[in-house]
Amino acid sequence: MSDREATATALKPTGSGDGGRPTIRVEGAVKSFDGRVVVDVDELTLGDHPIEGLIGPNGAGKTTLMRMIMHTVKLDRGTITFFPPRASADRGEILSSRPPHEIARLGVVKTNQVIQDFDELTISDSLLLSVAKAPDERLFRIFREDKLFEEYAEPIRWYLDGFGFKDPHGFAMSAGAKKLLDIIRCLLLRPKVLLLDEPAAGLPGEVRDRVIELVKEKASTENISVVIIEHDLNVIWDVCDYVHFMAEGRVILQGVPEWIREHETVVEKYLGSGHVGG
């Protein structure tokens, strides 16, 4: 393990971006369930590149690490810090001591691997919920709806039209529609760091391509740092500027996609042959 770590360290990017990217730094983060260590990440910075991939075999701890960042899973040890764009090194926000909703408000947002929805809310409800800010949602603000609707009608309409939602006041029925809605809700929050947990799973190919295109565009034009967990490695090789490879709770390889693919032997050991090509 140690020589691999050494390789990984040596191949870290020398200049970490332009310093203007929003980043997340994970330091000494450990999580174990029932005595089994699931995540043990000594040091990891996410967001130095516009789009980064987080790959690894099942059970490598990718999703748990994301949940630790969102603080829906408590850390046993360690800290996770968010650095907003252009923040100096000492101006980070410690995420691992905040409740999940504050993390979302800081601009760190995650889509869900498993389908999540509000059963009683229509599609447009769900998107309006996402864009509404705390002052809109005070319990005495009972005449706020029209203003909110007016203010956000345009971006919501843009997403609804762009993804072909025929009936915005109806409910999301299919698994694909719910998954897509989950991603749109996150994008409407105008995140600074966007964590996508298996965005391609469950989406029809055409929709998946649109989502990926959109995410790429946002990453470059709006300075969003995107981190994608994905089992479909073709997506990773296509869109990611940098890849973190996790296994057994640790990050054991980091590098540009081409470099990771060159180290077939390591990756194949974990993912099995045939995954690297394509």
Partner 1 sequence: MNLDWLSSFLIFGLFFVVMMIGLALLLHLQMGLAGIGNFGIVGFWGIGMYAFGVLWVRADWPFGEPWPFLISLAFGTVAAGLAGLLIGWLIADLDADGIVVGTLGFATVVLILATTEKSLTGGAYGMGGLDFPYDVGTIKGNEASWLAIVIVLVGALLFYVARVHRSPYGRLLISLGANAPLAGSLGKPTFGTKLWLFVVGSAGMGLLGAMYGVMVHFLSPLKIGIEITLAAIVGLVLGGRSRVWGAVVGVLLTVGLFDIVIQLYAPLPASLSAQALPVLREVLFGATLIVVLMFRPLGILGRMRRDKLMRRMHGE
- Binding-site ranges for partner 1 (CB under 8 A): 70, 72, 99-102, 104-105, 109-110, 112, 116-122, 124-125, 128-130, 132, 134, 136-139, 141-145, 148-149, 169-171, 185-186, 189
Q: Please state the closest distance from residue 222 (CB atom) to partner 1, in A.
A: 18
The residue among 108 and 276 lying less far from partner 1, judged by its C-beta, is 108
Task: Count CB-CB contacts under 10 A for residue 188.
Answer: 19
Q: Please state the closest distance from residue 126 (CB atom) to partner 1, in A.
A: 8
Q: Please state the closest distance from residue 190 (CB atom) to partner 1, in A.
A: 11
Q: How far apart are CA 14 and CA 90, in angstroms?
A: 20
The residue among 120 and 258 lying less far from partner 1, judged by its C-beta, is 120
Q: How far apart are CA 249 and CA 57, in angstroms?
A: 10
Contacts of 194 (CB under 8 A, 6+ apart): 109, 110, 111, 186, 187, 215, 218, 224, 225, 226, 227
Q: What is the DSSP letter of 135?
A: G
Q: Please state the closest distance from residue 171 (CB atom) to partner 1, in A.
A: 7
Helices 175-188 and 123-131 pack at an angle, to 10 degrees, of: 20
One-letter amino acid of 123: I
The residue among 186 and 215 lying less far from partner 1, judged by its C-beta, is 186
Q: In the beta sheet, which residues pair with residue 228?
A: 53, 196
Helices 145-162 and 123-131 pack at an angle, to 10 degrees, of: 120
The residue among 157 and 216 lying less far from partner 1, judged by its C-beta, is 157
The residue among 163 and 171 lying less far from partner 1, judged by its C-beta, is 171
Residue 254: name the closest of 267, 265, 268, 238 by CA: 267
Q: Please state the closest distance from residue 178 (CB atom) to partner 1, in A.
A: 11
Q: Please state the closest distance from residue 119 (CB atom) to partner 1, in A.
A: 5
The residue among 112 and 254 lying less far from partner 1, judged by its C-beta, is 112
Distance of CA 56 to the CA centre of its chain: 15
Q: How far apart are CA 26 and CA 48, in angstroms?
A: 13
Q: How far apart are CA 37 and CA 59, in angstroms?
A: 11
Q: Please state the closest distance from residue 99 (CB atom) to partner 1, in A.
A: 7
